[in-house]
Structure 1
């Protein structure tokens, strides 16, 4: 029973780390990345559809994102969605392709992005602590129901704490990496 609870906790903590990495992928750095625009919703025939499902997204060089819609009618819809996104990107429409030039970040914007990255990291740590609390509650319930002994419960709580500490370190390491990437000129 303890192994099942720990396995579930590990899966949930892995999910929190994956969510953090997804949030980081959407943060704009000085380089072009398809993940910046992939999930921006386009109102395609009345349905919010991610850009990567209505067009090819590519990176011709380190400062440019190229978007080639599969349907000619989607050009204006994609352009509108990009302009409405909070990324501050200005697409250039040449009739065949939408090009987005990624301008270099200002020092103030870099510092702002680092703060956002730290906020995402803190949210992930909160999620990890919530998982830890749930697992500890499950262990206490197992002990209360006499399914495990008090010693087993204490050992399991120590294992949960070690697992939580490991995932917190992984979150912090991911944040440090993202911070370096954002501050890199």
Structure 2
């Protein structure tokens, strides 16, 4: 594993953490809440966003207008069964999701969830670091690189680890602030 590979993998861990954060409610309507919702459509699980037009007409409402009206009930069912904690309202044309204001208990739960997502991201980064350091040690053992080069590379890997871990910490602080803002 090269230094560039390690950095690329760490960047992907940060992006995955960002996507995970986007699925957490902040009290404002956000279409990314529905990114993980899969709808049983003609026998196969299909992402909701590929079956419908999803909009946020105001700060507390998400509307889902399916391209195929016959999928309305399946969409409603998929949202009800998902873990987003919202109740869909089907009016025969569109499905509406009203985003209730978050209670302080709910906000605390979401802050904990954000912390868990951040920790998962940091674990991914540390796993990349471990793999990269193992690769450097293997190269050193095979005499492909000198001991000094190996130590320099390990220092660089640690700097990358610190950089991307700090990015996740920044994202977490931003998300916690977002969740806590009433």
Q: TM-score, normalised by structure 2?
A: 0.98
Q: CA separation in 2, counterparts of 1:154 and 1:47?
A: 51
Residue number in structure 2 paired with 1:60: 57
| 2:167 paired with 1:141 | no
Cα distance in 2, alignment partners of residues 44 and 133 from structure 1: 42
Q: Distance in 2 between matches of 1:128 and 1:86?
A: 27
Q: 1:39, 1:52 within 8 Å by CA — same for their partners in 2?
A: no
Give the counterpart of 2:110 among 102, 113, 117.
Answer: 113
Is 2:35 aligned against 1:44? Answer: no
Question: Shift of residue 39 of structure 1?
Answer: 2.5
Q: Mark the runs of 5 or more structure 1 residues left unpaired by the alignment.
A: none
Among candidates 107, 130, 137, match of residue 127 of structure 2: 130
Per mean C-alpha deviation after superposition, the further-off stretch among 89-98 and 106-115 is: 89-98
Give the superposed CA RMSD.
0.8
Corresponding position of 2:4: 7
Distance in 2 between residues matched to 1:62 and 1:160, nearest whole Å: 42
- Please list the CA deviations of residues 121-171 of structure 1 after superposition, one character each: whole Å capped at 9, or x if unmatched: 111111111111111110011111111111000000000000000001000
Q: C-alpha distance in 2, partners of 1:43/1:125?
A: 33
TM-score, scaled to structure 1: 0.96
Alignment-derived partner of residue 177 in structure 1: 174
The residue aligned with 1:86 is 83
CA distance in 1, matches of 2:36, 2:134: 36
3-state DSSP class of the match of 1:29?
coil
Alignment of 1:63-78 (within 5 A): 63-78=60-75
Residue 90 of structure 1, CA deviation: 1.1
